[in-house]
Structures are given as C-alpha cells and as structure tokens.
C-alpha cells in the first residue's frame, strides 16, 4: 500500500510505482528527494508523492578507479 512521504525518513529504502526502488536522500514539508537505483535522482512534492516501504537492499556502487599521474618526458 502506498503511503505519503511524510511517513518516511532519510536513508529509508522505498519503492515508487514509476521509478522503482530508491533511497530517500532528503525529506521535508515541501520536497522529497530520492536516489533511484536505475533512474537517478528525482525530486517530488512531499504532500502528494506515493511511496511504499521495501526490503530490497541498495545496489553496491563501484568505487572510482584512481587515476595514474601523468608523466612528462624531458
């Protein structure tokens, strides 16, 4: 059952009927921002967005590779 974003907190995992699974990154009286697993960051009006709790773990993000220092030839 979908619930209002007022019932959720930062870092909670949620499911949105269009964008799928995501993690709440910010929620206040006006806006809720969610980082979706496959659809990026989206901003919603808190009073009207419908979300459902979920137990699906967040995907593990790959760590960026370290860049090699450029060498200059003399």
In-domain check, residue 46 = yes
For residue 53, the number of C-alpha atoms closer than 13 Å in the C-beta half-sphere is: 6
Rounded Cα gap, residues 69 and 40, in angstroms: 31
Instruction: Decide if 71 is inside a domain.
Output: no
Return the structure tokens found at 31.
Answer: 């806006």
The total domain count for the chain is 1
pLDDT digits (tens, 9 = 90+) for 9-52: 999 999 999 999 999 999 999 999 999 999 999 999 999 999 99
- Domain assignment of residue 7, yes or no: yes
> What predicted TM-score, i.e. pTM, was given to this entire model?
0.76
Does a structural domain hold residue 41?
yes
Asked whether residue 65 is domain-assigned, the answer is no
pLDDT at 5: 62
**DSSP string of 12-66?**
-EEEETTTEEEEEEEE-SSEEEEEETTTEEEEEETTT-EEEE--PPPPPPPPPPP
Domain that holds residue 25: 3-53
User: Is there a domain that residue 19 lies in?
Assistant: yes
Mean pLDDT of 57-68: 79
Tokens of 22: 């995501």
């Amino acid at each position: 059952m979908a619930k209002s974003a007022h019932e959720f907190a930062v870092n909670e995992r949620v499911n949105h009927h269009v964008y799928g699974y995501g993690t709440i990154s910010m929620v206040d009286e006006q806006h809720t921002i969610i980082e979706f697993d496959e659809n990026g960051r989206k901003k919603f009006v808190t009073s009207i967005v419908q979300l459902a709790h979920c137990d699906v773990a967040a995907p593990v993000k790959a760590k960026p590779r370290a860049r090699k220092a450029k060498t200059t030839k003399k």
